[in-house]
Amino acid sequence: MEESLPNRDRIPAHVAIIMDGNGRWAESRGISRLRGHRAGLQRVRDVLRASNDLGIQYLTLYAFSLENWNRPKTEVDGLMSLLIEYMERELNEVDRNGIRVRAIGRLDRLPGRVQKAVENAIERTRENSEMTLTFALSYGGRAEIVDAARKMVLDAERGTLLPKSIDEKTFRDYLYDPTLPDPDLLIRTGAEVRVSNFLLWQIAYAEIHNTNVMWPDFQKQNLVDAILDYQGRERRFGMTGSQVREGGS
Ligand code: FPP
């Protein structure tokens, strides 16, 4: 059977992914959870390549949540090591492909060596413009909103922000990365149907695609299927279907 291909003219500009299921994938094979994360890291490489091939401009990956700090120390340490490994080993290929690396989250909580590796990747790829790869690290959506509110209050106290001038656009300027557009498509693997504190502000109008596939099994075809699902939907942004079809009036 011929696989259907996504319409190249309607590729979502920004795809965000909750990469869930590494632990269950590993447990079902009787191997350590860390080996599941390592298999998951391989999928990060593949999915980045596939996203680049498909013409996705922004890929945002939920690599480590604020809640993940509560996992056993060995698992947290293992994930931190994998992050460093990724930032060091993949950087050449990422850079060669014109991909810009960014990170969002409470990055100051990351161990110094992880912060260094992340900063180095961001710095080295700063001028790239082919695609943007953002890692959510030590990230929580509510924390992001709280951090934005704090920064706004500080600016208001300093007199550089007038409370009456605050609107949604101003608020966005205080998020971790104001240049990051809202995701068009949010994918969650691992058979759970939850948002799990990911990009709460930014996913207001995102289309959500859930799959039972565990992240270490996620293939290019699964990404294509998610895009086909997205392309089969009508995005109305609160308008009626006929308004959308008439061009948004
Ligand atoms: C969820 O699986 C995944 C994570 C907590 C971390 C995501 C990490 C990776 C994909 C690998 C490392 C990636 C980078 C970029 C370093 P889970 O452990 O919650 O799975 P479970 O729900 O089955 O237990």
Report CA(158)–ligand 1 centroid distance (Å): 41
Q: In this predicted structure, what is the pLDDT of residue 1?
A: 47
Provide the CATH number for the domain around residue 133.
3.40.1180.10
User: Which residues pair with residue 15 across a beta bridge?
Assistant: 59, 185
Strand pairing report for 185-188 and 207-210: parallel
DSSP 67: G
- 214 in helix, strand or coil? coil
Can you give the residue range of the structural domain that contains 106?
12-140+182-230
Residue 136: C-alpha distances to residues 28, 105, 122, 162, 245 (Å): 27, 6, 13, 30, 35
The response to whether residue 174 sits with its C-beta less than 6 Å from ligand 1 reads: no
Atom in ligand 1 nearest the alpha carbon of residue 37: 11
The residues annotated as belonging to the active site are 20, 68
Q: In this predicted structure, what is the pLDDT of residue 205?
A: 96
Report CA(196)–ligand 1 centroid distance (Å): 13
Average pLDDT value for residue range 128-146: 98
Residue 229: C-alpha distances to residues 4, 173, 209 (Å): 11, 31, 7
The response to whether residue 139 sits with its C-beta less than 6 Å from ligand 1 reads: no
The answer to whether position 88 is within a domain reads yes
The residue whose C-alpha atom lies closest to atom 22 belonging to ligand 1 is 21
Domains identified in the chain, total number: 1
Q: Across all residues in the chain, what is the average pLDDT? A: 95
For the chain, where are the E strands, in sequence order? 14-18, 58-65, 99-104, 131-139, 185-188, 207-210
Residue 65 has pLDDT above 50, yes or no: yes
The answer to whether position 84 is within a domain reads yes
The response to whether residue 24 sits with its C-beta less than 6 Å from ligand 1 reads: yes
Report CA(76)–ligand 1 centroid distance (Å): 10
Average pLDDT value for residue range 30-54: 98
The answer to whether position 199 is within a domain reads yes
Residue 96: C-alpha distances to residues 50, 69, 99, 197 (Å): 15, 33, 8, 33
Report CA(22)–ligand 1 centroid distance (Å): 5
Residue 96 has pLDDT above 60, yes or no: yes
Q: In this predicted structure, what is the pLDDT of residue 120?
A: 98
User: Which residues pair with residue 102 across a beta bridge?
Assistant: 134
The answer to whether position 159 is within a domain reads no
Average pLDDT value for residue range 16-24: 98
The answer to whether position 91 is within a domain reads yes
The response to whether residue 97 sits with its C-beta less than 6 Å from ligand 1 reads: no
Residue 124 has pLDDT above 90, yes or no: yes
The answer to whether position 42 is within a domain reads yes
Residue 162 has pLDDT above 90, yes or no: yes
Q: In this predicted structure, what is the pLDDT of residue 156?
A: 97
Report CA(63)–ligand 1 centroid distance (Å): 6
The answer to whether position 219 is within a domain reads yes
Q: How confident is the model at residue 68 (pLDDT cuts 50, 70, 90)?
A: very high
Q: Which of 177, 181, 194 is nearest to 135 (CA)?
A: 177
Q: In this predicted structure, what is the pLDDT of residue 236?
A: 76
Residue 248 has pLDDT above 70, yes or no: no
Q: Name the residue of 24, 34, 37 to mutate for ligand 1: max ligand atoms within 8 A of Cβ.
A: 37
Strand pairing report for 131-139 and 185-188: unpaired
Q: Which residue has tokens 């994998």?
A: 82
Backbone φ, ψ for residue 104 (5° rounding)? -130, 145
Q: How confident is the model at residue 246 (pLDDT cuts 50, 70, 90)?
A: confident
> CA-to-CA distance for 88 and 121, rounded, in angstroms?
8
